[in-house]
């Protein structure tokens, strides 16, 4: 079966709302002994793997603070570019990592403005914390589902591998 770049684009959409979730979900998959279709360098190193998990949790907590900056400020967009690029490359078919990274970034940045507008609307209706928790549930679930569907058991793990 030929693999497409769909997962790269979709993980970019996840990054638009939660910048660290793509890397955290891939780090979690690697800890669960799952292989990514594309080559993955940074998140196989323990410092980066556990750092991605910590940053993912930290973002979920920090997002509920009144002082949390908008996701479209420079550093927020930079974090999205980096996370979407790494995750988009990892979920791309082998040999198409650069295209997967570019597609994920091209999805994440413009959608960050749309997801921010939706979040602001939700905040006006139900408040910052409640809207953030709902967004967290949706985005983390989507990220986990995407990465689960896009990855398979690591070779040599004793598990049956996919074709």
Chain segment 137-159, per-residue pLDDT in tens? 999 999 999 999 999 887 654 44
- CB atoms closer than 10 angstroms to residue 145: 13
Q: What is the mean pLDDT of residues 101-113?
A: 97
Question: pLDDT category, 83, cuts 50, 70, 90?
Answer: very high
The distance of Cα 125 from the centroid of its chain, to the nearest Å, equals: 27
pLDDT of residue 21: 96
Tell me whether residue 159 is in a domain. Answer: no
Tell me whether residue 51 is in a domain. Answer: yes
Res 16 pLDDT > 80: yes
Token readout for 42 is: 């940074």
**What is the pTM (predicted TM-score) of this model?**
0.87
Tell me whether residue 1 is in a domain. Answer: no
Tell me whether residue 158 is in a domain. Answer: no
pLDDT of residue 154: 73
CA distance 103 to 128: 30
Residues 45-75 pLDDT 10s: 889 999 999 999 989 888 777 787 889 999 9
- Residues spanned by the domain of 47: 6-153
């Amino acid at each position: 079966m030929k693999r497409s770049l769909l997962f790269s684009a979709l993980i970019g959409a996840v990054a638009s709302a939660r910048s660290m979730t793509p890397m955290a979900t891939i780090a979690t998959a690697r800890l669960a002994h799952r292989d990514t279709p594309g080559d993955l360098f940074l998140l196989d190193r323990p410092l980066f793997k556990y750092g991605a998990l910590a940053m993912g949790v930290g973002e979920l907590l920090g997002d509920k603070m009144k002082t949390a900056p908008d996701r479209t400020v420079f550093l927020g967009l930079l974090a999205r570019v980096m996370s979407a690029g790494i995750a988009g490359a990892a979920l791309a078919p082998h040999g198409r990592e650069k295209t997967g990274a570019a597609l994920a970034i091209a999805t994440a940045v413009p959608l960050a403005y749309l997801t921010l507008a939706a979040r602001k609307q939700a905040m006006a209706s139900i408040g910052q914390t409640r809207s953030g928790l709902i967004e967290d549930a949706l985005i983390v679930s989507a990220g986990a589902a995407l990465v689960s569907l896009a990855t398979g058991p690591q070779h040599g793990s004793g598990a049956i591998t996919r074709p």
